[in-house]
Amino acid sequence: MELPDRLENFTKEQLMHLDMLVDQLDEALRDADPRGMHLAAFHPTGTARAGGDAQRSPVDGHGRLRGVDGVWVADASIVPSCPEVNPQVTIMTLALSIAAGIVGSEPVAVSARSAGKDTT
């Protein structure tokens, strides 16, 4: 059997091992039942929540990390809780709002109501 150029540098043992792995993968895929799969996904939010209460929120409503000058947080960690829909647009909006506040003369306040469902 003539090997493709990309495989000719492999040893016979390596090729046999690769062939065995391919066989195992084929078997696993044949036996897989998608109805028995349990999938989960989450968006890590709220790890540095933004808010007005300094005791509960390490980041203020403008994205500034409390107690550290010159540090802003502009990602999903400032959203108090995970929104009920994909948070991509929410995160992009927060980041743009915080960036506008950093480069502008007045920071743009981020409200908990627009960032997520938890307003406490």
CA–CA gap between residue 79 and residue 97 (Å, rounded): 13
Q: For residue 5, what pLDDT is reported?
A: 62
Active-site residue identified among 17, 38, 43, 62 = 43
Q: Which tokens is 53 given?
A: 């209460």
pLDDT at 8 over 80: no
Q: Is 17 a catalytic residue?
A: no
**What's the pTM value of the predicted model, to 2 decimals?**
0.53
Contact call for residues 64 and 71 (beta carbons, < 8 A): yes
CA distance 110 to 31: 49
Q: 116 vs 17, which has greater pLDDT?
A: 17
Q: What does the pLDDT read at residue 75?
A: 93
What average pLDDT does range 101-112 have in this prediction? Answer: 65
For 37-69, write each residue's pLDDT tens digit. Answer: 777 767 788 899 999 999 999 999 999 999 999
Confidence category of residue 81, pLDDT binned at 50, 70, 90: confident
- Residues 82, 76: Cα–Cα separation, whole Å: 9
Average pLDDT along the chain = 80
